[in-house]
């Protein structure tokens, strides 16, 4: 009986150790990654004396997350292990778009839709692509191409109508499949996309405002 008890105790102890090891593995913190706003724009951008609000982008469930999405095939989505964005991707893009508009120096005022800013124009983004795609060349070598695509609509709040819409897309090949290189590719692709979207938005709003003078 004593021998049987010792065997059972040893098995329980091993089971407990295995459980603790699993808990320790699960408790390891994720690496968090930031992305940066765009700060360089065309010197020919006109100045817009209007207030702009940027809404939170709509997005599919695959990218509406703080996980970093990679597609090994066009019909499959996976996420990098132990790596996260600092927030959900649409919220990151919204904040960076606001900061990019500010960095252009061409907008009277810009803010997010949650701050209660009275808007003359609303920028409505739709985050269509925000993931890495595994691609193969003719020799079977694989690389990861980061794809960012944002559809933008601009709404005149006074007239409550869409005055312009367009799509902006960039592809960047990551230097490797390591997470830091993938994040750098995301940052470059998003930066180029935001630059094009901000410059287009400023020009469209400037043209519309010039053709629809109002009394304030």
Q: Domain extents for the chain?
A: 32-211
Per the DSSP assignment, residues forming a β-bridge with 134 are 144
Residue 116 pLDDT grade (very low, low, confident, very high; cuts 50, 70, 90): low
pLDDT for 27 equals: 54
- Minimal CA–CA distance to 48: which of 172, 198, 215? 198
Using an 8 Å Cβ cutoff, are 170 and 193 in contact?
A: yes
pLDDT for 140 equals: 83
pLDDT for 5 equals: 34
pLDDT for 84 equals: 97
What confidence tens digit (pLDDT) does each residue in 177-209 have? 999 999 999 999 999 999 999 999 999 999 999
C-alpha distances out from residue 71 to 62, 77, 134, Å: 10, 5, 6
Which pTM does this prediction carry? 0.84
pLDDT for 13 equals: 43
CA distance 147 to 88: 17
CA distance 102 to 194: 12
The Cα diameter of the chain in Å comes to 95
What confidence tens digit (pLDDT) does each residue in 71-112 have? 999 999 999 999 999 999 999 999 999 999 999 999 999 998
- Minimal CA–CA distance to 188: which of 69, 73, 40? 40
DSSP strands (E only) in the chain: 31-33, 48-54, 58-59, 67-73, 76-85, 107-112, 121-136, 142-156, 161-173
What confidence tens digit (pLDDT) does each residue in 25-77 have? 455 678 999 999 999 999 999 999 999 999 999 999 999 999 999 999 999 99
What confidence tens digit (pLDDT) does each residue in 142-185 have? 999 999 999 999 999 999 999 999 999 999 999 999 999 999 99
Q: What is the CATH number of domain 32-211?
A: 3.40.50.10610
Q: In the predicted model, is pLDDT for residue 10 greater than 50?
A: no
């Amino acid at each position: 009986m004593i021998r049987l008890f010792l065997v059972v105790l040893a098995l329980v102890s091993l089971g407990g150790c295995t459980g603790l090891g699993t808990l320790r593995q699960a408790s390891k913190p994720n690496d968090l990654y930031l992305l940066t706003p765009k700060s360089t724009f065309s010197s020919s951008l006109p100045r817009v004396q209007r207030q702009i609000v940027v809404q939170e982008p709509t997005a599919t469930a695959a990218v509406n997350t703080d996980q970093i999405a990679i597609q090994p095939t066009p019909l499959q989505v996976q996420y990098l292990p132990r790596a996260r964005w600092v927030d959900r991707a649409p919220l990151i893009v919204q904040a960076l778009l606001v900061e990019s508009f500010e960095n252009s120096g061409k907008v009277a005022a810009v803010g997010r839709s949650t701050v209660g800013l009275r808007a003359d124009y609303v920028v409505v983004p739709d985050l269509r692509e925000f993931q890495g795609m595994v691609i193969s060349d003719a020799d079977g070598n694989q690389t990861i191409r980061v794809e960012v695509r944002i559809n933008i609509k601009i709404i005149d709040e006074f007239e409550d109508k869409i005055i312009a819409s367009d799509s902006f897309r960039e592809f960047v090949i990551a230097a490797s499949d390591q997470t830091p290189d993938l994040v750098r590719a995301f940052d470059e692709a998003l930066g180029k996309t935001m630059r094009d979207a901000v410059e287009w938005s400023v020009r469209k709003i400037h043209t519309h405002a010039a053709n629809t003078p109002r009394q304030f």
